[in-house]
Amino acid sequence: MTKKTGLSAAVITKNEEERLPDCLKSISFADEIIVVDSGSTDRTVEIAREFGCRVFIEDWKGYGPQKNSAVEKCRNEWVLLLDADERVPAATWDLIGKAVENPAADAYTFKRKNYLHGRWLKHSGYWPDRQIRLVNRVKGSFRSAIHERWVTDGPIADLDACIEHFAFSDYSDMLKTLDEYSSVIARELYASGKRANALSPVLHGGGMFFKIFVIEKGFLDGLDGLVTALTKAGGSFFKYAKLLELQQRNRAK
């Protein structure tokens, strides 16, 4: 695909200096790249500017509102939405171009290949892991600050194309993300009026482990599948445990 593509790309960031360069290289075919950063303390903003991105620094508003802010800043009608740990392989570029030139829908999903230790995980709920990543920005928006999703009244089509996802470098990174993400989600759940009881962490955590390891056949991914099931279960457990902690803390005030 060559410019001009009629396509904008948007990425939200915070402290992504290690993963952002590969992400930006993979979407260099876009007419413009918008980066909305929520207060990075590393070289993320500097890297984005070096790549020629239009960079905006804003307070964190939640996943949905933050991504809406990035989309609204795009000049083109069609926007490719990526996280900093995602990549668009060259084989997918032309399919994106064709979808933008002759759209048959208002949003498109991609199959997402998730990698851990350099290996593509084909189970554990990680394949085909379809995600909406190409949208007509005037025909939809993100809803929810917690589990954000693109909502449109028009048709959503599945592209026979992949993006790549490198969320974790190792098990320590998975545990760090579990802790950070569960804290963010717990706070957003509390702010939205959700409440937990003493059984909530156990039921959600146990249910998540069974889903990933058994129903989604995580056992076929070996040790990586087991660790994935445990960390996803841990994330579910701790977001409700932390929600319960918030409830108790605020009652004591």
pLDDT value at position 156?
97
Assigned token pair, 129: 């892991």
pTM of the model: 0.87
Average pLDDT estimate for 175-181: 92
Per-residue pLDDT at 195 exceeds 90: yes
pLDDT value at position 53?
98
Per-residue pLDDT at 158 exceeds 90: yes
pLDDT band at 3 (very low <50, low <70, confident <90, very high): low
Which of 74-88, 122-136, 144-158 is the least confident region? 144-158
